[in-house]
Each structure stands twice: as C-alpha cells, then as structure tokens.
C-alpha cells in the first residue's frame, strides 16, 4: 500500500460524534422516519396516523410520538374540546428531516426490485441457518 492510499483510507472514519452516525441515533426507531414522513403531509390526529401507518400498534405509535416530541421534531397540540382532541405536526426542526426522507422514500419507490432482491437474499440466508 502506498502513502496516498493509506492517507485516503485513514481520512474516512465515521467517528462516534460525526453527523453521519448521529443521524442514526435520531432515526433509530423502526417507525420514527415513517411518522416524520407521514406528518410531512400535514398535521394529523392519532387515528389518522394509525390509518396512515398500518401495522403500528397504539403502544408503539404513542411511544414513537413521545420520542419525536421530546426530541423537538414534532409538536403536540391539545384542543380544549369534548371529546379531547390531540393533533401532531412537524416543528421547524422536524421539517429539516423531510427532504432527505423524501429522497430516500422516492429512491425506494424507484428501486422496489432491489428491495425485493434484498428480502429474498435475507430469507434465503435465514433458511440456510435453520
């Protein structure tokens, strides 16, 4: 290995506090990015989010909403009406995460066959271990 190659390899380090790793800490939950993406289409009530995200349990949705609210990505607005009404929307900070999520979701829509292949590979690997 020459000196240039060694320098190039050593310069590429994803340190613990670098932005590229920190994004994974923020979006580490299975549902976090999907909740943010769903709310990018407008404010929603809990029931609307449940219908928008089939498969999420009430408990997981509540936990995810609490997490994104605590991180400052989502605003929770309680209306003083009977029955009680709660609405969730993105904060300005939450809006900053929408563009890269849209790009990722658009890529996924354009590359569904790659995702299908990935799933087949994972299923094949699981069945060979069993």
**Which range of residues forms the domain containing residue 115?**
3-129
> How many Cβ atoms sit within 10 Å of the Cβ of residue 6?
10
Q: What is the pLDDT, as a whole number, of residue 6? A: 53
Question: What domain count does the chain have?
Answer: 1
Location of structure tokens 């009404």: 85
The CATH number for 63's domain is 1.10.10.10
Give me the helices (H) in the chain, please.
3-11, 19-26, 32-39, 46-52, 58-70, 92-95, 98-110, 112-129
> Tens of pLDDT along 34-83?
999 999 999 999 999 999 999 999 999 999 999 999 999 999 999 999 98
Q: Is the predicted pLDDT of residue 5 greater than 80, yes or no?
A: no
Closest by Cα among 38, 40, 57 to 48? 38
């Amino acid at each position: 290995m020459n000196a240039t190659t060694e320098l190039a390899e050593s310069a590429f380090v994803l340190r613990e506090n670098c932005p590229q790793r920190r994004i994974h800490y923020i979006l580490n939950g299975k549902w976090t990015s999907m909740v943010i993406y769903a709310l990018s289409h407008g404010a929603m009530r809990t029931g609307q989010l449940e219908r928008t995200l089939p498969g999420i349990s009430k408990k997981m949705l509540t936990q995810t909403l609490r997490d994104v609210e605590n991180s400052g990505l989502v605003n929770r607005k309680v209306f003083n009406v009977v029955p009680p009404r709660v609405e969730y929307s993105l904060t300005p900070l939450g809006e900053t995460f929408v563009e890269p999520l849209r790009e990722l979701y658009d890529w996924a829509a354009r590359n569904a066959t790659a995702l299908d292949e990935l799933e087949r590979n994972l299923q094949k690997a699981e069945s060979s271990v069993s």
